[in-house]
Amino acid sequence: MNSFSSTHEPSSLAETTSSIRVDSNIGKLLQDAGKLKLQDMERVLKLQQEQNLRFGEAALKLGLVTEADIQQALSHQFEYPYIPASEASLSPELTAATDPYSKEAEALRSVRSELLMRWFHDGHKTLAVGSARADEGASYLAANLAVLFAQMGRKVLLIDANMRQPRQQDIFNLGSGMGLSDILAERVPSLQVRTVKSFPTLTVLPAGSPPPNPAELLARPSFGALLSGLETSYDIILLDTAPSQLSSDFQPVAARAGGMLLAARRNVSRLAPLAELKEKITLTGAQVVGAVVLD
């Protein structure tokens, strides 16, 4: 008969010490976050010793914290950043950031895993994300994937290359300002990237000022030169592109990225436009890396 040691009873002094340290760290994190006062800590520690509970379990049993508070403390402890929905100034579309334990976030993690194995593992750093129609979720997909890669500790840049109907500035609550169009038009001297609170390895480059000629800007050699330079500074670059039924702007973006991930929406997308989009991407020399069907 195979023998297994109990996961509830530490088999060595080192394991016992580790368990105490972990619980203590959670207590300090909860205290630093203003969730527990000093007198609360004493009550939790007393119950923890009396009933042989973990610190978080004892705090929950006393009604001093919520499950969300515990999850947030654990996220800091394991360097897994996310923002509770109640505290977020971000769009609720950003599921990976505000509700990382949901079924939607878990499904998106599966997409992330596939991309790591099928695209980024082969040395690629840049990937475009697009769709046939504006309501098929390309911006949602690009934004959430950017957060998910950042949660792995990867240095991520999300570029909003949809200058006609930009979404990322609203999703990340960045406000208006300079961005990609201004850089390509040589209207600004430096890169106009924005950092995202609570995600130190995630940076967003908004679409910028609405230009009259987005297709021409994206076709300029300076766009390729910009991406080449950025690829030396980031682990992963994701480009949110304009839908193919709106314009041809996605084509130079796909060509430079080398690959595109397609977003489709259940009961909304149609096969004919998707097939046409796939053919147009192939004509640019880029690869269709895959398709994600969103609910």
Tens of pLDDT, residue by residue, the chain (295 residues): 333 333 333 334 333 334 434 444 777 777 777 788 888 888 888 888 888 888 888 888 888 888 766 666 666 665 566 666 555 577 889 999 888 888 999 999 999 999 999 999 988 999 999 999 999 999 999 999 999 999 999 999 999 999 999 999 999 999 888 999 999 999 998 888 999 877 889 999 999 999 999 999 999 999 999 999 999 999 999 999 999 999 999 999 999 999 999 999 999 999 999 999 999 999 999 999 999 999 8
Residue 215 CB contacts under 8 Å (≥ 6 apart), including other chains:
247, 248, 249, 252
Read off the DSSP letter of residue 161: -
CATH architecture of 95-294: 3-Layer(aba) Sandwich (3.40)
CA 204 to CA 157: how far, in whole Å?
A: 6
Q: Are 73 and 56 within 8 A, CB to CB?
A: yes
Give the span between the Cα atoms of 7 and 25, in whole angstroms.
20
Q: Can you give the pLDDT at residue 86?
A: 54
pLDDT score, position 19: 40
Nearest to 142 by CA among 155, 154, 124, 160: 160
Q: Are 127 and 119 in contact (CB under 8 A)?
A: yes
pLDDT of residue 241: 98
Structure confidence at residue 161 (pLDDT): 98
Burial environment of residue 88 by CB neighbours within 10 A (0 to 12, 13 to 18, 19 or more): middle
Q: Which amino acid is at 24?
A: S
The whole-number pLDDT of residue 88 equals 59
Parts of the chain belonging to CATH 3.40.50.300: 95-294
- Beta strand 194-196 with 199-205: parallel, antiparallel or unpaired? antiparallel
pLDDT at 14 (0 to 100): 39
- DSSP code per residue over 133-152: STTS-HHHHHHHHHHHHHHT
CB 246 within 8 A of CB 164: yes
What are the CA-CA distances from residue 148 to residues 76, 98, 145, 243 (Å)?
15, 11, 5, 23
pLDDT given for residue 267 in this prediction:
93
